[in-house]
Amino acid sequence: MENRSQWGSRAGFLFAAMGSAIGLGNIWRFPATAYESGGGAFIIPYLFALLTAGIPLLILEYTVGHKHRGSAPKSLGRVRKGFEWIGWWQVTIAFVISTYYAVIIAWAIMYAYYSFNLSWGDDPTSFFVGDFLTLTDPGTFGGLVPKVLLPLLIVWIITLGVLSKGVRKGIEKANKIFIPTLVVLFIIIVIRAITLDGAAAGLSAFFTPDWSSIADPQVWVAAYGQIFFSLSIAFAIMITYSSYLPKKSDITNNAFITGFANSSFEILAGIGVFAAIGFMAFTYDTTVSQLAAEKGVGGVGLAFMVFPEIVSQIPGIPRIFGFLFFASLVLAGLSSLISITETYVAAVSEKFNISRGKSIMFGGGLAAVLSLLYATQGGLNLLDTVDHFINNFGVALAGLFEVVALAWFAKGLKGFQSHANEISDIRLGTWWRFCLGVITPIVLGYMMLQNLRAELS
């Protein structure tokens, strides 16, 4: 315990935490969710969710990791013996997510490459589902090996390579490069997008508030769901990362910085994505809402079907825009993949008393092999199904177990509160315990019931 790895600097930790938080959820999940949940009016439930659940839970996870100095199962087990399984639940979810996250990043690598000659042709949708996903190289093993194999291999080599260098020389160093680069690339994309014809219509579709949406409970559920996913909460990550913080660390302040940085990036992505969609509507001489209804504005469809279409139509040098967009997906994705993989690498190595290297080999190796399942013809369907269950049940339950256990079944939140208050100049008070002990459990419980009901109907 004494020679536990540590971050080299506060900035190093912050970049790593932001690297985990800023991911595909910011680029393709937030814009669509906000658009479908009241546009500009979504800012109210969204900020409410950020301040009453997102940042308070982030502070709690940072505190648990910092105080107990272990991976998620170990730290939670040190709070109380019976809590270790909650950590393993979260670690298992992280493991499953990593298997398909890696494949999406591999697709993005392929598409960054395709951008240079606009390989998707005139019909990117059928290129993606038809050619690309079934693309095999006839020369190898009778055409059984998908072309995405090489980029997938690259993704795992980078991820496991970074992890094998350790916390400071690996994770910290990689994020210190990835995140500033990502921000620069993304700002260039957004500037280009808002200067396209039709951008204003896209932005107005995105920002125009539908105030009636605030009365809709589903919109509130969507806001909390977005915040949890986007801040990588209840995935065992933030506990693991904060366990590498030095003793003297301003936990509360770090949580606010992570939360606001993630949200800023998210809103920036909303602007970029909708400016680009506005341009597409302009090109097709249609409206943004019509286009959104026809094509969808989020997820795999946005990235690999809608965006290629937009890229092809951009005047001037479309190739650079496409390359920057897919390169951003790769950087945002890799820094998140590194973080989820670290959770089980750390947990397994601590639990079974084996070296990091062995844990990377077994845990990471197994995930890499399993990720091949999604690189097959049925891959996209499998990915959708797994993603659906993980997001609707796995994560909401993990968050619910965690917050209820820590708030109600440990020695209460006061101990964590005073631990966080030892260093920080932002004082946690009753408001913090109320958010975690009352608001968050109610919201997560309600969210579970809603998701269950939707599943059964």
Would you tell me which residues interact with ligand PFF (CB under 6 A)? 20-21, 23-26, 94, 97, 229-230, 232, 235, 237, 336, 339-340
Give the residue with the Cβ less far from ligand PFF, 291 or 390: 390
Total residues contacting Na ion by CB under 5 A comes to 5
Could you tell me the smallest distance in angstroms from the CB atom of residue 175 to ligand PFF?
Answer: 13
Quote the tokens at residue 371: 């990720």
From Na ion, ligand PFF, none, which one binds at residue 24 (CB under 5 to 8 Å depending on kind)?
ligand PFF
Q: Which of residues 244-273 bind Na ion (CB under 5 A)?
A: 262
Give the residue with the Cβ less far from Na ion, 21 or 340: 21
Report the distance separating Cα 58 and Cα 107, nearest Å. 31
Burial 16-46 (b: 16+ CB within 10 A, else e): bbbbbbbbbbbbbbbbbbbbbbbbebbebbb
Q: ∠ CA 60-66-69 to the nearest 5 degrees?
A: 125
Give the residue with the Cβ less far from ligand PFF, 17 or 148: 17
- Dihedral angle sign, alpha carbons of residues 354, 358, 362, 364: positive
Could you tell me the smallest distance in angstroms from the CB atom of residue 326 to Na ion?
Answer: 18
- Point out which span in 3-11, 33-41, 229-237, 304-312 binds Na ion (CB under 5 A): 229-237
Give the residue with the Cβ less far from Na ion, 27 or 110: 27
Q: For the chain, percent helix, then strand, then coil, each to nearest 5? A: 80, 0, 20
Report the distance separating Cα 294 and Cα 288, nearest Å. 10
How far is residue 276 from each of residues 154, 195, 281, 284, 309, measured CA to CA in Å?
30, 9, 9, 13, 10
**Contact 433/414 with Cβ under 8 angstroms?**
yes
Q: Is 333 in the site for Na ion (CB under 5 A)?
A: no
**Contact 35/305 with Cβ under 8 angstroms?**
no
Give the residue with the Cβ less far from ligand PFF, 243 or 417: 243
Quote the tokens at residue 224: 């909390």
Quote the tokens at residue 374: 């999604």
Q: Which of residues 23-82 bind Na ion (CB under 5 A)?
A: 25-26
Report the distance separating Cα 44 and Cα 405, nearest Å. 29
Could you tell me the smallest distance in angstroms from the CB atom of residue 336 to ligand PFF?
Answer: 4
- Point out which span in 65-73, 226-234, 288-296, 444-452 binds Na ion (CB under 5 A): 226-234
From ligand PFF, Na ion, none, which one binds at residue 97 (CB under 5 to 8 Å depending on kind)?
ligand PFF
**Contact 102/152 with Cβ under 8 angstroms?**
yes
Write the DSSP symbol of residue 138.
Answer: T
Give the residue with the Cβ less far from Na ion, 6 or 33: 33
Give the residue with the Cβ less far from ligand PFF, 233 or 443: 233
Could you tell me the smallest distance in angstroms from the CB atom of residue 286 to ligand PFF?
Answer: 30
String marking each residue 132-161 x if it binds Na ion according to CB under 5 A = ------------------------------
- Dihedral angle sign, alpha carbons of residues 46, 52, 58, 59: positive
Could you tell me the smallest distance in angstroms from the CB atom of residue 41 to ligand PFF?
Answer: 22
Could you tell me the smallest distance in angstroms from the CB atom of residue 387 to Na ion?
Answer: 15
Give the residue with the Cβ less far from ligand PFF, 234 or 280: 234
Among 230, 242, 391, 440, binds Na ion (CB under 5 A): 230
Could you tell me the smallest distance in angstroms from the CB atom of residue 232 to ligand PFF?
Answer: 4
β-bridge partners, 146: 136
From Na ion, ligand PFF, none, which one binds at residue 349 (CB under 5 to 8 Å depending on kind)?
none
Closest C-alpha among 4, 146, 22, 12 to residue 65: 4
- 381 burial level (CB within 10 Å; 0-12, 13-18, 19+): exposed
Residue with tokens 């709070």: 79
From Na ion, ligand PFF, none, which one binds at residue 340 (CB under 5 to 8 Å depending on kind)?
ligand PFF
Give the residue with the Cβ less far from ligand PFF, 26 or 63: 26
From Na ion, ligand PFF, none, which one binds at residue 451 (CB under 5 to 8 Å depending on kind)?
none
Q: Which of residues 2-31 bind Na ion (CB under 5 A)?
A: 21, 25-26
How far is residue 132 from each of residues 96, 125, 135, 289, measured CA to CA in Å?
24, 10, 5, 28
Binding site for Na ion (CB under 5 A): 21, 25-26, 230, 262
